[in-house]
Amino acid sequence: MSGSTRTRKVVVTQRFFDTATCEFLAAHHCETIIAELPPGKGDGDLPETALQDLLADADGWIVGHAHVTDSLLRVLPRLQVIARRGVGYERVDVEAVRRHGKVATIAVGGNDACVADHALALMLAVAHRLREGQARLGAGDWSIPMGTDLYRKTVGIVGLGRIGRGVVQRLRGFEAHILVCTPTPDEAYGRANGIRYTDLDTLLHESDIVSLHAPLTPETRFIINAAAIEKMKPSAIVINTARGGLVDDRALLAALELGRLRGVGLDVFVSESDPYYRDVSSALIALPQVVATPHSGASTVEGLDRTNLIAAQSIVDVLSGATPATARVVADGRTLPNQHNKGET
């Protein structure tokens, strides 16, 4: 690497890191160190001091949900690259990455298919009341909870990135009527796939199912709030496999308790980043018309293998002095003067 074959240390603070990716890293002169995480905890639950200890000698870091902060990077001068095993990077301080002369990447293309599958699974599970049916059977009650079709329903998709497009492709098999709200409509794609672009209010008013696939930004935070829910049909279903902050879960809970929505499928929660909402998450999960999963949409064997390898490829690229594919790079401070000592006291 850069004329040297010395072994570089790559620390992985995620579970389910496959052997083939470890072998790929080894073939490129990288030693893989997989951190031991506390039972039931992820790297996002580790205090910064623990991360400092784990990463003290790391050249590369494959990270899950830990916060990548200025104060952490400041004490890790050897660390060159931070590779997210995923595509969201709201917990990465990209300006700090640049300031400290490091590179941050995401695993674009690794989990698109499995998250799109998961969104469809939640749509079907909520529409067919699968949770309620199994609960009744478990109680010895064989009465039938009456569901509703996904077939030929109107589905509104908020955000049309890679996962949103994957959901579109899957919905075509259900002959769904697809509405899309996105800031940058691709008219050719819309014509080819029979979708109709519209504003958010129209989408909320007309949709039988609203599925969220937008990034979390200040503009999209709580895009589904009490006012938005009031515009929806009482028979509507909300699906969120994107980011918890897109939906005000407190407003969602109130609407479900009042019968203002048919049901909800959630893979993400506000409480993942805001402890104030933990009681709200617990109340949502307890409702029979809610199908909830623990942010597991991207966690299939195949999906994790793909994202592991993409993250590892980005690590190898950076440590060898190359640049990862443009779509994978969210911050590259190598072209800037290293400023991490400026202004420090």
CA distances (Å), origin 236, targets 218, 232, 256, 264, 325? 26, 7, 11, 9, 40
Domain membership flag for residue 342: no
State residue 103's pLDDT score.
98
Domain membership flag for residue 50: yes
Residues 238, 241, 242, 248, CA torsion sign: positive
Do 85 and 173 belong together in one domain?
Answer: no
State residue 93's pLDDT score.
97
Do 264 and 315 belong together in one domain?
Answer: no
- Residue 271: pLDDT band with limits 50, 70, 90: very high
State residue 340's pLDDT score.
37
Look at residue 74 and tell me whether its pLDDT is greater than 80.
Answer: yes
DSSP assignment letter at 68: B
Containing structural domain, residue 61: 8-110+300-332
Higher model confidence: residue 38 or residue 249? 249
- CA dist 83 and 308 (Å) reads 10
What are the contacts of 217-226 at 24+ separation with CB within 8 A? 220/245, 220/246, 221/245, 221/246, 222/246, 222/247, 222/248, 222/251, 223/158, 223/247, 224/248, 224/251, 224/252, 225/251, 226/251, 226/254, 226/255
Look at residue 120 and tell me whether its pLDDT is greater than 50.
Answer: yes
Closest among 263, 275, 265, 262 to 297, alpha carbons compared:
265
Domain membership flag for residue 92: yes
State residue 5's pLDDT score.
65
Do 192 and 317 belong together in one domain?
Answer: no
- CA dist 273 and 157 (Å) reads 24
Domain membership flag for residue 192: yes
Look at residue 344 and tell me whether its pLDDT is greater than 50.
Answer: no
Look at residue 199 and tell me whether its pLDDT is greater than 70.
Answer: yes
For the chain, the average pLDDT equals 94
Do 252 and 281 belong together in one domain?
Answer: yes
Looking at the annotation, which residues are catalytic?
A: 243, 272, 295
Do 284 and 304 belong together in one domain?
Answer: no
List of residues 6+ apart from 186 with CB closer than 8 A:
160
Residue-wise pLDDT tens digits, 26-50: 999 999 999 999 988 889 999 999 9
The 10 Å Cβ neighbour count of residue 34 is: 15
Domain membership flag for residue 119: yes
Share of the chain above pLDDT 70, in %: 96
- Residue 2: pLDDT band with limits 50, 70, 90: very low
Do 251 and 158 belong together in one domain?
Answer: yes
Domain membership flag for residue 155: yes
DSSP assignment letter at 339: -
State residue 8's pLDDT score.
96
Q: In the chain, how many domains are there? A: 2
- Residue 345: pLDDT band with limits 50, 70, 90: very low
Which helix (H) or strand (E) covers residue 31, if one does?
strand 30-34
- CA dist 247 and 238 (Å) reads 10
State residue 322's pLDDT score.
95
Residue-wise pLDDT tens digits, 298-336: 999 999 999 999 999 999 999 999 999 999 999 999 976
Q: Any idea what the CATH number is for the domain that residue 124 is in? A: 3.40.50.720
Do 105 and 151 belong together in one domain?
Answer: no
Do 312 and 282 belong together in one domain?
Answer: no
Do 105 and 116 belong together in one domain?
Answer: no
State residue 41's pLDDT score.
87
Do 154 and 77 belong together in one domain?
Answer: no
Look at residue 58 and tell me whether its pLDDT is greater than 70.
Answer: yes
- CA dist 305 and 69 (Å) reads 27
State residue 343's pLDDT score.
30
Domain membership flag for residue 86: yes
Helices (H), the chain: 19-27, 48-55, 70-74, 94-99, 112-127, 130-138, 162-172, 187-193, 200-206, 226-230, 249-257, 278-286, 301-319
Do 77 and 212 belong together in one domain?
Answer: no
Residue-wise pLDDT tens digits, 163-180: 999 999 999 999 999 999
Do 140 and 74 belong together in one domain?
Answer: no
- CA dist 192 and 337 (Å) reads 46
Report yes or no: 81 and 105 within 8 Å, Cβ to Cβ.
Answer: yes
Q: For residue 13, how many C-alpha atoms fall within 13 Å in the half-sphere facing its CB?
A: 27
State residue 90's pLDDT score.
87
Residues 231, 235, 236, 238, CA torsion sign: positive
Domain membership flag for residue 188: yes
